[in-house]
Amino acid sequence: MDLSRRFSSVLLLLFVSITIASAEIRKSEIRSDDRPIIPLDEFGFTHTGRLELDASKISLSNNNPDLDLSKVGFFLCTRDAWVHVIQQLEEEEITCALQSDLVKHVFTFNNLKGDKSSFSTVFTENDADQYSLVFANCLQQVKISMDVRSAMYNLEGKKGGRDYLSAGRTVLPKVYFFFSVIYFSLAATWIYVLYKKRLTVFAIHFFMLGVVVLKALNLLCEAEDKSYIKKTGTAHGWDVLFYIFNFLKGITLFTLIVLIGTGWSFLKPYLQDKEKKVLMIVIPLQVVANFAQVVIDETGPYGQDWVTWKQIFLLVDVVCCCAVLFPIVWSIKNLREAAKTDGKAAVNLVKLTLFRHYYIVVICYIYFTRVVVYALETITSYKYMWTSVVASELATLAFYLFTGYKFRPEVHNPYFVVDDEEEEAAAEALKLEDEFEL
């Protein structure tokens, strides 16, 4: 059946695409929507889980009294159950997800009372697992409009306080605050290094300080954001500060990688046209990526364009990650060519080795934070989702430390003399470096 196939494709897309689990109190506006499945949120419940669900201004495009409203409503379903629900639909055992015995009904529209334009219910979930809150509309050619407010939380402690963060993410405020303290400490250390070696400091070193400070502020705001969501279900404005510093941190980090890759300020005081073009590509793309992230976080998966924005974010992020590698490759090639013409093989070998290592580290950083962390999120139990955040932050911290250590201010003696044997050895090493394929 066409409807069953439609269910199957949408459910499969939902199963693959949903990765959010912050579950702050979410308000969704659904207008003239005929989608058979509308995902609303995802949350990891403990044995004391609660779901508060309110809907108002409910209206159907068809007010036929003979409509089977039991085929319209909200339900909870685990990720593992999605696969079996899809199978049931494909094999035509059921024609509607609400008919499956694998889902937990929260509210169906046949239970609407009074003017049938609103309802409010509290659903208790005692089976610990990660659930998706979904709205199903199995009536063909019937459009739904309504305002939905959902709040999912776990009760904790003897007093039964509410924890609006998904199980497995409830420790994130402490994690983010811990890393923010580390970055503030790094910033203080870097300031001390710049002061002690102020005679050999370049502009790039002050730029590196700015990147570290923005990263620390970003983590502090994210810690406060998650802390308020955990306690109250809303960010109380900390999400705005988080987006601002996340935007600045993203742009400055990619710009820093490009500038270091070009050797700006510490190898040469200018940027070539092709290097400027890379910055002109990376910076606007970072603006688009951050805008996409705001849309993804704030609208939630119920938005019809949510998946599109997520795909845009991933595509732009990949393009940025690839673009920042080009200046490093150009610098390596330039150093190789310079070594053949200026007779300074030993000096160029040191620079070439540094840029080669940086190229490899940048690739490892990008691969780990984009691929490995995502795989970790996919395979890790919902109870330990915080581990992917820790892994990502540790990798980022290691990258910052490597960059700061390798490109720290150093005194270079212009009268340093290299003897002939060292120069010949360096020249031979450079010949071997030519075999290194980027």
Residue whose pair of structure tokens reads 């700015």 in the numeric block: 210
Q: What is the CATH number of the domain that holds 110?
A: 2.60.120
Inter-residue contact 74 to 107 (CB < 8 Å): yes
Residue 25: the pLDDT is 87
Q: Indicate if the pLDDT at residue 230 is higher than 90.
A: yes
Radius of gyration of the chain (CA): 27
Q: Tell whether 129 and 220 lie within a shared domain.
A: no
pLDDT band at 411 (very low <50, low <70, confident <90, very high): low
Q: Token pair of 344, please? A: 């300074």
176-219 residue pLDDT tens: 999 999 999 999 999 999 999 988 898 999 999 999 999 999 99
Q: Which domain holds residue 371?
A: 171-419
Same domain, residue pair 219 and 316: yes
Q: Across all residues in the chain, what is the average pLDDT?
A: 84
Over range 337-347, report the average pLDDT.
59
Is residue 321 domain-shared with residue 388, that is, in the same domain? Answer: yes
Structural domains counted in the chain: 2
Is residue 433 one of the residues assigned to a domain? no
Residue 302, in any domain of the structure: yes
* Domain presence at residue 179: yes
Q: If pLDDT is split at 50, 70 and 90, which confidence band does 413 have?
A: very low
Within-domain flag for 429: no
Residue 355: give its domain's CATH number: 1.20.1070
DSSP state letters, 258-291: HHHHHTBTTTBSS--HHHHHHHHHHHHHHHHHHH
Question: Is a pLDDT exceeding 90 seen at residue 174?
Answer: yes
Distance CA 418, CA 402 (A): 28
Quick: pLDDT tens for 6-22: 544 454 445 444 444 45
The reply to whether 136 and 180 lie within a common domain is no
Is 14 among the domain residues? no
pLDDT by residue (tens digit) across 128-166?
999 999 999 999 889 999 999 999 999 987 777 899 999
The DSSP letter of residue 98 is G
Query: What is the percentage of the chain residues whose pLDDT exceeds 90?
Result: 46
Contact, 373 vs 388, CB < 8 A? yes
Residue 275's pLDDT is 80
What pLDDT score was predicted for residue 346? Answer: 53
